[in-house]
């Protein structure tokens, strides 16, 4: 991945972000045509309006209104029929693109997406792989996302691809794209879903076929990695960093800094020592013991984290003194 691709992440601009999918150029073209046709009509009406305002203003030589003009059939027909043709043309064009955007190609590769407060989970049904906050796909393939939510309504948005779709609980929605080239792109949640909404980000990596295959077989857990280092990696890759800081500042959840071994006051007034079992329970049954001053909003990580990963995260927390 070159620097050009890297630079797409977290870089905003006044203009539309770079168009990077096989459909996004069509979307932009139609968008620009609508914008410029509207601008042209707006300017024409305002200019003619101002001209008449000046020409027919009341003055000493123009006191009495002229005889009222009742009809001009040619003029009336033209200002009805010309806009009608323009609008029907835009409708047909938009409808054609809308159908192409709505119907994934039959040979598209399927990835399941789950939105959760506050992260994205990507599951590869064929390959049996689950990743958080990172969607990795091969280039030159149409990708179909089958999406649902475990809690509230989220919305999956890839600005560079001009695709956006709500992710709804108890229901599946689909969206598809094909990237024009390998690169790294931003994914945003674009439906307000609570405290962590603005941090509900994911990265979309489009890799060459060879790199993608390498990524598929690469293990989630490096076997010989020290536990605390593995925990540090999981802190980012499992999206713990959305809600928990490691510098002592409070985010949606309490900071991990200095957490281990401390006596923690709970929402119900009782207290507990933050040992291995307390931290483990906070991951698998987060609402059992909620820290004072925080809301019970954490989703359960039971089934998301393997035992070894929980232990690695605890080892990492121990290092944050």
Residues that bind ligand CUA (CB under 6 A): 115, 118, 154, 189, 191-193, 197, 200
Handedness of CA 71, 72, 77, 83 (dihedral sign): negative
Q: Between residues 153 and 266, which has the closer beta carbon with respect to ligand CUA?
A: 153
Write the CB contacts of 66 (distance below 8 Å, at least 6 apart in sequence).
none
**Between the CA of residue 252 and those of 117, 188, 197, 235, 271, what are the distances in Å?**
11, 18, 10, 15, 20
Q: Taking the complex as a whole, how short is the minimal distance between the CB of residue 249 and ligand CUA, in angstroms? A: 21
DSSP state of 199: G
Dist CA 192 CA 274 (whole Å): 32
Instruction: Kindly state the smallest distance separating residue 163's Cβ from ligand CUA, in Å.
Output: 16
All residues at 6 or more sequence positions from 309 whose CB lies less than 8 Å from its CB, including other chains: 221, 230, 234, 238
The Cβ of residue 142 has, within 10 Å, a number of other Cβ atoms equal to 17
CB of 122 to ligand CUA, least distance (A): 15
**Counting beta carbons within 10 angstroms of the beta carbon of residue 126, is it exposed (0 to 12), middle (13 to 18) or buried (19 or more)?**
exposed
Q: How far is the CB of 147 from ligand CUA (least distance, A)?
A: 12
**Measured from the CB atom, is 10 or 68 closer to ligand CUA?**
10
CA atoms of 315 and 229, how far apart (whole Å): 9
CA-CA distance, 255 to 76, in Å (whole number)?
69
As measured in angstroms, the least distance from the Cβ of 267 to ligand CUA is 24
DSSP label at 297?
A: -
Query: How far is the C-alpha of 173 from the C-alpha of 129, rounded, in Å?
Result: 21
Q: Output 115 or 159, the one with its CB closest to ligand CUA.
A: 115
- Please identify, using beta-carbon distances, which residue of 140 and 299 lies nearer to ligand CUA: 299
- For ligand CUA, the closer of residues 101 and 193 by Cβ is 193
* DSSP β-bridge partners for residue 177: 143
Query: Which of 199, 279 has the CB closer to ligand CUA?
Result: 199
Minimum distance between the CB of residue 183 and ligand CUA, rounded to whole angstroms?
24
Which CB sits closer to ligand CUA, 109 or 202? 202
Q: Which two tokens stand for residue 127?
A: 């390959």
CA 168 to chain centre: 14
Compute, in degrees rounded to 10, the torsion defined by CA atoms 74, 76, 80, 85: 20
In whole angstroms, the minimum distance from the beta carbon of 148 to ligand CUA comes to: 13
Which residue, 19 or 155, has its beta carbon nearer to ligand CUA? 155
Whether 161 contacts 24, CB under 8 Å: yes
Give bridge partners of residue 271 from the DSSP assignment: 265
Looking at the Cβ atoms of 138 and 196, the one nearer to ligand CUA is: 196
């Amino acid at each position: 991945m070159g620097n050009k691709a890297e630079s797409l992440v977290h870089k905003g601009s006044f203009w539309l972000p770079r168009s990077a999918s096989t459909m996004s150029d069509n979307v932009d073209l139609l968008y620009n045509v609508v914008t410029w046709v509207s601008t042209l009509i707006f300017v024409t009406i305002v200019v003619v309006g101002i001209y008449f305002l000046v020409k027919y203003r009341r003055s000493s030589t123009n006191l009495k209104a002229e005889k009222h003009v009742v009809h001009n059939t040619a003029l009336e027909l033209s200002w009805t029929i010309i806009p009608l043709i323009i609008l029907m043309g835009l409708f047909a064009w938009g409808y054609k693109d809308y159908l192409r955007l709505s119907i994934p190609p039959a040979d598209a590769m399927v990835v399941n997406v789950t939105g959760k407060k506050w992260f994205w989970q990507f599951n590869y049904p064929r390959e049996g792989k689950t990743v958080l906050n990172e969607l990795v796909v091969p280039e030159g393939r149409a990708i179909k996302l089958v999406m649902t939510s475990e809690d509230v309504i989220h919305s999956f948005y890839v600005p560079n691809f001009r695709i956006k779709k709500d992710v709804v609980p108890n229901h599946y929605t689909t969206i598809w794209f094909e990237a024009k080239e390998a690169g790294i792109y931003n994914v945003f949640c674009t439906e307000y879903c609570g405290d962590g909404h603005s941090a509900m980000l994911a990265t979309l990596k489009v890799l060459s076929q060879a790199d993608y295959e390498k990524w598929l077989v690469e293990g989630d857990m490096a076997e010989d990695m020290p536990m605390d280092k593995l925990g540090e990696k999981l802190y980012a890759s499992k999206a713990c960093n959305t809600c928990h800081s490691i510098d002592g500042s409070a985010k949606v959840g309490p900071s991990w800094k200095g957490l281990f071994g401390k006596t923690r006051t709970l929402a119900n007034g009782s207290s507990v020592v933050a040992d291995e079992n307390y931290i483990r329970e906070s991951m698998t049954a987060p609402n059992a013991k909620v820290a004072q001053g925080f809301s019970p909003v954490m989703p359960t990580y039971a089934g998301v984290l393997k035992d070894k990963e929980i232990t690695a995260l605890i080892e990492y927390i121990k290092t944050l003194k």
